[in-house]
Amino acid sequence: MIASGRERGFMMVSNILLIIFAIVWLMPFVTILLSATRTQGDLISNGVFSIPKSIRWENFVDAWNTGGFTDYFKNSLLLILFKVPLGILIASLAAYPLAKMQFRGRGLIFIFFLIGLAVPVQVTLQPLLVMMKDLGIANSLAALVPPYLAFGLPFQIFVMRGFFRLLPNELLEAARVDGASNTAIFFKIMLPLSLPALATLAIIDTLATWNEFLIALVLISGKASRTVPVGLLQFQGEFSSQYTLLMAGVLISILPVLAVFVFLQKYFVAGLTGGVKG
Amino acid sequence: MPASLLKFFVTVSPMAGKHARVIRSATPWLFLAPAVFVYSMFLVGPMLFTLYTSFYEWDGLSDTMIYVGLRNYIDILFNDEVSQLALRNNLLWTAGAVTIPTLLGLLLAVGLNSVSPVKKLLRTLYYMPAVLPLISVGLIWGWMYNPHFGVINVFLRAVGLEQWAGGWLSSYSMALPATFITYVWSHVGFPMMLYLAGLQAIPREQYEAARIDGAGLWSTFRNITLPGLAETHVIVLSLAVFNGFRVFDLIYTMTYGGPGRSTHVLGTWMYFQTFQYYEAGYGAALSWVIAAIVLVVAIPYIRRMSRD
Amino acid sequence: MKLTQLGTTKLLLGTAASLMMLAANAEAQEKIRFFTIFDATQVELWTPVIEAFEAANPEYEVELETVAGSGAAVYPDVLRTSMASGDPADVFFMWGGSIAQPFIDAGQVKELSAEYDAHGWNDRFPPWIRDRLSSDGKIYGVPYHARGMGIWYRKDMFEEFGLSEPASYEELEGMCQTLADNGKYCASFGGKFGWHTMRLVDYFLEDTCGAEVHDAINARTDTWDQPCVVEAFARLQKWVDNKWLVPDFLTVAPNDARMPMYLGDAAMVYEGPWFERVLAADEQDSSNFEFFLPPTPSGRYHAFPEQWMIPAGAANPTGAAVFVDWITDAENQVNWPATFAGSATIGVTPDCGEQPHGCKWAEILGSDRGTYPPTDQAFSKELIDSFFEAQDSVVAGRMTPEEAAALIQKRVEAAM
């Protein structure tokens, strides 16, 4: 790298700024950590932002046990394992003809999907609950899958379509000449070549599914099928809040998604390129 | 035997070809079918149901529904002070959402566009707020903004900006901007990621050519980086518009529409009407107003994106 | 041969018998869906109660469903959705008055006169609570809690500044001034959601308007733009202007409002009997806290019931009534004093050694001293939000007390 002194100075300043800025960005997390590792009395009598008198790691165990997080984690994990791949598969299936086939109504159907980005989730809660009841799956984990799929599709189709469009047509033509069916082309060529985009969507969708609150709150009232974010609510009572346990619960709850994010970050950046170029 | 088989194929091939053409026109729909089914049933369906109820006066609980025609829409647009205030807040919010996190995201992306592990860590840090569950975002920022013991005020007093300290969220004029700061904090990671992706797509050679021509940092940024990100801008800005008009969670948890009704947006007002005032018809109409506005703003964008 | 045959027969019979038992069990084990606002602590307190009920009534299986969350914010929203979709629980928790009214008006809850007679509930609860739960002479709920509200204070701060419980509003003002002169705040409130600030305004209204007019304006048979209402809002303004209240509290969460008191910066909060449990949970020395009923000429105090309701569309209304009967029975409640602290059932009094404040509350709530409801249980949610808007505007100095009173009257008229 050849850089003039002035440029190097500029880089230095910008890097320092980025680090300072990141520390400010982290402040709320520091608060959460401070609150999660002390006693409720210490937090309340000495103030949220004071230094803890003593560190209390037991909060994490207490939060896990009194909150019954074993079930919530199991439910959220199950949901992600089932919903995320299924959603991305459905979106990719739809994105393939939108990107690579000529047919009547293609533009229209794409717009039809994008309209979904304009729909406020909260308005569909009541009709959704009625539907789930009619389907006989209200109050079960299964009730969350259809709405999560439906609300995830517009963005996912949009990204996948963009990525598929980047794949050279010659590749597909060659496969066709070799006698490959569209299904074979999709599974053997399109999907393997789109791994980065798929990983990107997997991260975004895992995050969205893991943190979704409103639909899960309304569609599931039983403890057995509850998910993690709704489970956190029980530390906020009618007249008082168990702040320390809540914060410990929050930290526990973000660990899995954070791990997924850190682990798949390289794909994340590479993957969105396709969507952007599309 | 193989010969007859071959013959069979040869003879049926015109038919097979015809058949293939038929398949060719049905194939796209077969691929689209699962998505169209799930999406129509669980998103479009409920939305159409609310379109129907938006022409009624209905408490959302009983069987009595009174047809009122367009009255709910007329009230929203002309008679309801809160929905007008909410619309104004939505416009301000969207204007903010389109500019500030986008700009910050762009700057962060340019600054962090490197494979160094430190920058990778920084990227994670900036994206982390998006990982937090909503309930904790409301609580933590409520504490940070707390007029009495909140760290923001403590800091302002400590650095001598006493006059700035105060009830950020309790002030009619500051509550919305203060909530928006939280929004920036939690949403800057997304445009950053999109821009980082966009930056990867700009060919290296362009930068090298510019360097050989002796272009400075600023002129490189202006002449290569910005134009190279044109497609990304469209995506980032459009998503900001979509999300700006649909904003709900953050305001619901942080201010609950208060103080007074000063921070209501269409999303929260719709929620209040439907779930708290038992005006499900009115709430439904509000949700269609939200959708209509977003679509009108977004149609040019959708057109552009669906062009070949 | 014979032996094996016998064995087979036995086996078959045994299998049949156990199958029949299973079937009988499956038939008899009716589910009772129990929908509540319980948080993690309350769930812990209620689990043994539910187990005991199931042991005493093996034909029922109780399924506890909870939606926690601060105050009357999240729970009613979820409840409403489950009702509207035709999938209600069998028993659910509800506040009294106008919060329950939409469900009554929509015909979503069961009228319980028959159950009251059948289970002998008529003499089980104090008359004021029954009255409060009745609507047009019909009764739709069974009392759970009797909740009073009063001003809790730090004894050490009262001692330090030579204060004692006031006998009149004027004395209370004097105390606030003393505290302010010493750099302390008089009271702390959390204005988010509106209902916390409302407690103070309600007290002002009771004091300025008197019992009769206060009841009349709550019932909307008298107007809100009258001098005593203006005076009540003027007091609110005075409390803000004189810095008697911890400032900038309009969007502070109610559960956070007590922190300035714990920090020793404010002397009082406006809370109910539950505050004893809160103090314990917050690891405070509860002997340093005491409460008094805010003084009024009428002698009345703030009180509201909480109740159990049975949806009209409940799948198991009979089981629901049996369950409600069991959990409101004094004989059962005495076994779990912590779970049933503040119970509305007559004859269930807390241990005065262990819960001195609860004991004092039980005495007050069981007395024939008059009560007035919090306004959010007298007004519909839409109307109470106008009330909150008025009080927020006064606190922020955006409206004069006259304008605030006029605004409420305008909205009351519009809602008629």
In a domain, B49, yes or no: no
Closest CA to C284 of C302, C271, C301: C271
Chain B interface, mutation test: which of C250, C391, C399, most B Cβ atoms within 10 Å?
Answer: C250
Looking up residue A190, the CATH number of its domain turns out to be 1.10.3720.10
Closest CA to B268 of A258, C393, A121, A235: A121
Nearest to B200 among A19, A107, A270 (CB): A270
Q: Which two tokens stand for residue B219?
A: 């002129």
Q: Is the peptide bond before B133 cis (omega within 30 degrees of 0)?
A: no
Where b means 16+ CB within 10 Å and e means fewer, A210-246 reads bbbbbbbbbbbbbbebbbbbbbbbbbbbbbbbbbbbb
For chain A, the average pLDDT equals 84
- What structural domains does chain C harbor? 2-147+306-355 (3.40.190.10), 148-303+358-415 (3.40.190.10)
Q: Is residue C233's pLDDT more than 80? A: yes
Which of A90-94, B237-241, C29-33, C72-76 is predicted with the least confidence, judged by mean pLDDT? C72-76
CA dihedral C182, C269, C208, C178 (to 10 degrees): -10
> How does DSSP assign C314-335, residue by residue?
-S-HHHHHHHHHHHT-HHHHTT
- Interval A200-212: pLDDT, tens: 788 778 888 998 9
Q: Are C283 and A44 in contact (CB under 8 A)?
A: yes
- Interval B176-230: pLDDT, tens: 999 999 999 998 988 887 788 778 767 778 888 888 888 888 888 898 888 888 7
Rounded to whole angstroms, the Cα distance separating C33 from C247 reads 44
Cβ separation of C102 and B170 shorter than 8 Å?
A: no
Instruction: Name the pLDDT band for B2 (thresholds 50, 70, 90).
Output: very low
Which pLDDT score is estimated for A201? 80
In a domain, A51, yes or no: no
Averaged pLDDT for residues C132-155: 91
Which pLDDT score is estimated for B7? 36
- Interval B242-288: pLDDT, tens: 888 888 888 988 899 989 999 999 999 999 998 888 898 999 999 89
Which pLDDT score is estimated for B305? 60
In a domain, A207, yes or no: yes
In a domain, A59, yes or no: no
Pairing type for strands C30-36 and C60-66 reads parallel
Rounded to whole angstroms, the Cα distance separating C22 from B242 reads 55
Give the number of other CB atoms < 10 A from CB of residue B98: 18
Q: Is residue C17's pLDDT more than 60? A: no
In a domain, A55, yes or no: no
- Residue B69 CB contacts under 8 Å (≥ 6 apart), including other chains: B55
Please calculate the CA angle A12-A16-A21 and round it to the nearest 5 degrees. Answer: 145
Rounded to whole angstroms, the Cα distance separating A57 from C221 reads 57
Decide which of B154 and A84 is more confident.
A84
What range defines the domain where residue B243 resides?
A: 66-306
Q: Could you give the percent of chain C with pLDDT greater than 70?
A: 92
Question: C66 — contact with chain A (CB < 8 Å)?
Answer: yes
Nearest to C65 among A44, A126, A221 (CB): A221
Q: Which two tokens stand for residue B203?
A: 């060919």
Decide which of C53 and C348 is more confident.
C53
Q: Which two tokens stand for residue A173?
A: 């033509």
Question: How far does the CA of residue A250 sit from the closest CA of chain C (Å)?
Answer: 15
Radius of gyration of chain B from its Cα atoms, rounded to whole angstroms: 27
Averaged pLDDT for residues C405-410: 96
Which pLDDT score is estimated for A111? 84
Instruction: Name the pLDDT band for C297 (thresholds 50, 70, 90).
Output: very high
| Total of domains in chain B | 1
In a domain, A211, yes or no: yes
Instruction: Name the pLDDT band for C23 (thresholds 50, 70, 90).
Output: very low
Tell me which residues of chain A, numbers 50 to 89, contact chain B at a CB-CB cutoff of 8 Å. Answer: none
- Interval A100-120: pLDDT, tens: 888 888 888 988 998 888 888
Q: Is residue C256's pLDDT more than 80? A: yes
Closest CA to B194 of A269, A72, C104, C280: A269
In a domain, B254, yes or no: yes
The CA-based diameter of chain C, rounded to the nearest angstrom, is 102
The CA-based diameter of chain B, rounded to the nearest angstrom, is 97
Decide which of B177 and A3 is more confident.
B177
All partners of chain B with 3 or more CB pairs under 8 angstroms: A, C
Distance, CA of C6 to chain centre: 64
Cβ separation of A111 and B201 shorter than 8 Å?
A: no
| Total of domains in chain A | 1
Which residues from B are below 8 Å from C190, CB to CB?
none
**Sign of the dihedral defined by the CA atoms of residues B289, B293, B296, B302, in that order:** negative
Cβ separation of C39 and A236 shorter than 8 Å?
A: yes
What range defines the domain where residue A183 resides?
A: 65-277
For chain B, the average pLDDT equals 83
Give φ, ψ of C348 to 5 degrees.
Answer: -105, 100
Q: Is residue C22's pLDDT more than 60? A: no
In a domain, A43, yes or no: no
Instruction: Name the pLDDT band for A152 (thresholds 50, 70, 90).
Output: very high
Decide which of A261 and A13 is more confident.
A13
Which pLDDT score is estimated for A270? 53
Rounded to 10 deg, the angle between the A243-277 and B230-246 helix axes is 140
In a domain, A150, yes or no: yes
Which pLDDT score is estimated for B185? 94
Which pLDDT score is estimated for A194? 81
- Interval C162-171: pLDDT, tens: 999 999 999 9
Q: Is residue C391's pLDDT more than 90? A: yes
Q: Is residue C1's pLDDT more than 60? A: no
Q: Is residue C80's pLDDT more than 50? A: yes
Q: Is residue C155's pLDDT more than 60? A: yes
Which pLDDT score is estimated for C408? 96
Distances (CA, A) of C75 to C67, C82, C140: 6, 11, 19
Which of A216-230, C147-161, C319-333 is predicted with the least confidence, judged by mean pLDDT? A216-230
- Interval A252-277: pLDDT, tens: 988 888 888 777 776 655 544 444 43
Rounded to 10 deg, the angle between the B134-145 and A243-277 helix axes is 110
In a domain, B27, yes or no: no
Which pLDDT score is estimated for C56? 94
- Interval B87-104: pLDDT, tens: 999 999 999 999 999 999
Q: Is residue B302's pLDDT more than 50? A: yes
Give the number of other CB atoms < 10 A from CB of residue B59: 19
In a domain, A200, yes or no: yes
CA dihedral B230, B234, B237, B242 (to 10 degrees): -170
Q: How many CB pairs under 8 A join A and B?
A: 248
Averaged pLDDT for residues C168-188: 96
Q: Is residue C320's pLDDT more than 90? A: yes
Which residues from C are below 8 Å from A49, CB to CB?
none
Which residues from C are below 8 Å from B254, CB to CB?
251
Q: Is residue A9's pLDDT more than 60? A: yes
In a domain, B174, yes or no: yes
Cβ separation of B61 and C102 shorter than 8 Å?
A: yes
Which pLDDT score is estimated for B299? 67
Q: Is residue C12's pLDDT more than 50? A: no
Which pLDDT score is estimated for A124? 87
Question: A18 — contact with chain B (CB < 8 Å)?
Answer: yes
Q: Which two tokens stand for residue A58?
A: 């037991």
All partners of chain A with 3 or more CB pairs under 8 angstroms: B, C
In a domain, B295, yes or no: yes
Decide which of B113 and A274 is more confident.
B113
Looking up residue B159, the CATH number of its domain turns out to be 1.10.3720.10
